[in-house]
Each structure stands twice: as structure tokens, then as C-alpha cells.
Amino acid sequence: MGLMRLSAVEKTLQLSCPDAPVNARLGAVTFVHRFGSALNGNIHFHCCVIDGVFSAADEALRFDEAAITPEAIAQVQAEVRKRVLSLFKRRKLLSSENVDAMREWGHEGGFS
């Protein structure tokens, strides 16, 4: 699931780096966090994503820094939120009612 959602982030980064080659890729690490601040069970993911894209030409590595706007960040958050909630609904991990309620949450609904 994490890779599928990182594709939306990668596309946004690629669009934010107009001089980067089309085969440029993001650099990211995703890890599972299994508990909350009170050591309660709370499985969720953290992703550390570099703010640009990498590409290679011959033996040289190239990095293009992204010019990311707050609007681009909000758009990718909304896209990831929509995809994750739809997946959870399809797999019956959340009820339709819970998905609808979560779509109305403020503060990006936990997708930041």
C-alpha cells in the first residue's frame, strides 16, 4: 500500500522539478509505527521524503530540488487521503459511514 501512495507524492515532485529528466525518481523511506504516545496500539505509517528527485546519467547522480507550493502539498494530501480511504472501504477495513465521516475531518484528516 505504501508504494502505491508514494506514487502520488513522486508525481507531484516530478511536476515540481520541470528541468528534471522524465525518468527521475523520488527518494523516500517508509516505516511502520505500531503505537501511539501512550504506548497504545496505533498502527500507522511514517514516510520521510526528500524534497526533489534523483536521476542518473552514465555514472553521475543528479538531484533536482523541487519548488513545492503549499497548494501542491494540499493537493497530494487530498489525493492520498482519497485513495487510502477508498482502499480501506473496498477491503471492508472501514465501514462506508466511517469513511464518509473521516472525509469530513479537518486538519487533513490525519494525512500530513
Q: Which domain holds residue 28?
A: 2-110
Cα–Cα distance, 71 to 94 (Å, whole number): 29
- Domains in the chain: how many in total? 1
- The predicted model scores a pTM of 0.71
Name the DSSP letter for residue 108: G
Report the DSSP beta bridge partners of residue 57. Answer: 60
Grid cell, residue 67, equals 519548488
pLDDT digits (tens, 9 = 90+) for 51-75: 999 999 888 999 999 998 889 888 8
Cα–Cα distance, 63 to 55 (Å, whole number): 7
- 108 band by pLDDT with thresholds 50, 70 and 90: low
Tell me how far the alpha carbon of residue 16 is from its chain's centroid. 15
Residue 1 above 80 pLDDT?
A: no
Cα–Cα distance, 85 to 93 (Å, whole number): 9
Cα–Cα distance, 40 to 37 (Å, whole number): 7
Cα–Cα distance, 12 to 55 (Å, whole number): 16
